[in-house]
């Protein structure tokens, strides 16, 4: 009898699996799926999205066609608002975004649909490198020498961007006397400003650092530290592509002693743990069918083992992708919606201070 029950249970489980797989296979068969990218053509979000769009279909049962559509503007929020409010929640549209985590945290009026309302599919991690000009007085040979500098200028994107807030927080925590110069219209403008000596310090994502800055300004700048999200065990380790650059925590320990803590560090970690862990994110529309969300999550997991995709990605982004899929990502996003009000206020205060 026990053997019969066990066999029956196994048979039922197998049937369920086959049925689910069958449902997945049917759902996207002969379908046209739209991938919305929230920045314009040619930018890093677009390029990475198109690499994904090229390889993902063969990992989705039914091998649908993926059509990429760019919808830039509003700091990436126009596309996310569209996905949240206008796109049909039928599983046939998903977003590939560089999401605006700060907008969600401070209640930016431009973000009408919170990211916690979307169905998170997958995310690609990306650390950030803070770098400095070698001729920053008194002169830098390595990143450690930045601790001897003072009165330098740190340039960054607009005041409501994580690029600005994370840099200011990190430099203040190190006790460095610097002048923030936010407001540059794009990372290329920031790179230009550093190149021209209009400012001495800036930060950029890994693709920007490896793909552009170190190539065009490698003789003029030094990397200082990297901001990197913890792994699934909560450990903060150097990204494999940036093995020679200390993490912010290592840099802090070297020069200030101990581990960083306090409200500013909590704020910094809030940004890094969410944004850098899932720098690029794939979201399904709120209310999308569960079968479509699962099919896409399974496809992303499978694609991450596809050597053709990994090689294609690495050729262009100069880094092997590190992913987060499914509930793990949803938990991180959900945590932001229950953000400590004091933290949210801290961000708002910084934005107001930098706007003066």
Q: Does the protein bind other proteins through residue 182 (CB under 8 A)?
A: yes
Q: Does the protein bind other proteins through residue 205 (CB under 8 A)?
A: no
Measured distance CA(130)–CA(272) in Å, rounded:
13
State the nearest-atom distance from the C-beta of 41 to other proteins, in Å.
4
Which residue, 81, 164, 111, is CA-closest to 336? 111
Measured distance CA(102)–CA(169) in Å, rounded:
14
Measured distance CA(51)–CA(299) in Å, rounded:
14
- Give the single-character DSSP code of 87: S
State the nearest-atom distance from the C-beta of 158 to other proteins, in Å.
4
CA-based radius of gyration for the chain: 22
Strand order in the sheet with 128-133: 178-181, 152-155, 201-205, 128-133, 221-227
Q: Does the protein bind other proteins through residue 273 (CB under 8 A)?
A: no
Which residue, 334, 330, 338, is CA-closest to 122? 330
Per-residue string for binding with other proteins, 141-180, x by CB under 8 A?
Answer: ------------x-x-xxxx------------------xx
10 Å Cβ neighbour count for 275?
Answer: 26
Q: Does the protein bind other proteins through residue 311 (CB under 8 A)?
A: no
Site size toward other proteins (CB under 8 A) is 65
Q: Interhelix angle for 341-354 vs 263-271, to 10°?
A: 90
SS (H, E, C) 134-169: CCCCCCCCCHHHHHHCCCEEEECCCCCCHHHHHHHH
Beta-sheet strands, E only, within 170-220? 178-181, 201-205
State the nearest-atom distance from the C-beta of 25 to other proteins, in Å.
26
Window 84-113: residues binding other proteins (CB under 8 A): 86-88, 109-110, 112
Q: Does the protein bind other proteins through residue 183 (CB under 8 A)?
A: yes
| Residue 261 vs 355, nearer CB to other proteins | 355
Q: Does the protein bind other proteins through residue 197 (CB under 8 A)?
A: yes
State the nearest-atom distance from the C-beta of 199 to other proteins, in Å.
6
Window 314-333: residues binding other proteins (CB under 8 A): 315-317
Q: Does the protein bind other proteins through residue 241 (CB under 8 A)?
A: no
Among 44, 64, 123, 223, binds other proteins (CB under 8 A): 44
Q: Does the protein bind other proteins through residue 181 (CB under 8 A)?
A: yes
Tell the residue number behind the tokens 């079968």, with chain if given: 291
Among 24, 50, 119, 178, binds other proteins (CB under 8 A): 50
Q: Does the protein bind other proteins through residue 41 (CB under 8 A)?
A: yes
- Give the single-character DSSP code of 329: H
Secondary structure of residue 205 in the 3-state scheme: strand
Which residue, 169, 143, 162, 113, is CA-closest to 277? 162
Q: Does the protein bind other proteins through residue 352 (CB under 8 A)?
A: yes
| Residue 85 vs 327, nearer CB to other proteins | 85
Residues that bind other proteins in the complex, under the rule CB under 8 A: 34, 36, 40-44, 46-47, 50, 54, 67-75, 78, 81-82, 86-88, 109-110, 112, 153, 155, 157-160, 179-186, 188-189, 191-193, 195-199, 211-212, 215-216, 315-317, 351-352, 354-356
């Amino acid at each position: 009898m026990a053997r019969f029950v066990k066999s029956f249970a196994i048979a039922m489980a197998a049937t369920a699996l086959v049925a689910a797989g069958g449902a997945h296979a049917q759902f996207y068969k002969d379908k046209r799926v739209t991938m919305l990218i929230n920045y314009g053509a040619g930018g890093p979000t677009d390029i990475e999205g198109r690499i994904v769009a090229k390889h993902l279909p063969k990992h989705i049962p039914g091998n649908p066609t993926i059509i990429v559509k760019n919808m830039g503007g509003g700091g990436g929020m126009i596309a996310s608002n569209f996905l949240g409010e206008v796109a049909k929640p039928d599983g046939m549209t998903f977003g590939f975004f560089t999401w605006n985590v700060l907008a969600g945290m401070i209640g930016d009026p431009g973000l009408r649909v919170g990211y916690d309302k979307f169905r998170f599919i997958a995310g690609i991690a990306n650390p950030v490198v803070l770098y400095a000009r070698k001729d920053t007085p008194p002169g830098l040979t390595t990143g450690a020498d930045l601790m001897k500098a003072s009165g330098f200028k740190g340039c960054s994107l607009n005041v409501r961007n994580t690029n600005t807030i994370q840099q200011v927080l990190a430099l203040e925590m190190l006790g460095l006397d610097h002048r923030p110069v936010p407001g540059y219209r794009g990372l290329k403008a920031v790179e230009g400003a550093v190149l021209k000596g209009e400012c001495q310090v800036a930060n950029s994502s890994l693709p920007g650092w490896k793909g552009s800055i170190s190539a065009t300004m490698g003789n003029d700048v030094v990397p200082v530290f990297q901001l990197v999200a913890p792994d699934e065990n909560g450990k903060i380790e150097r990204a494999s592509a940036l093995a020679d650059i200390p993490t912010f925590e290592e840099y802090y320990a070297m020069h200030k002693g101990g581990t960083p803590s306090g409200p500013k560090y909590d704020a910094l970690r809030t940004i890094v743990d969410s944004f850098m862990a899932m720098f690029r994110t794939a979201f399904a529309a709120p209310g999308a069918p569960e079968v479509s969300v699962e099919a896409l999550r399974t496809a992303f997991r499978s694609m991450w083992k596809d050597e053709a995709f990994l090689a294609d990605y690495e050729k262009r982004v100069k880094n092997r992708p590190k992913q987060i899929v499914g509930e793990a990502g949803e938990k991180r996003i959900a945590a932001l919606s229950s953000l400590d009000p004091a933290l949210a206020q801290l961000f708002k205060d910084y934005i107001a201070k930098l706007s003066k």
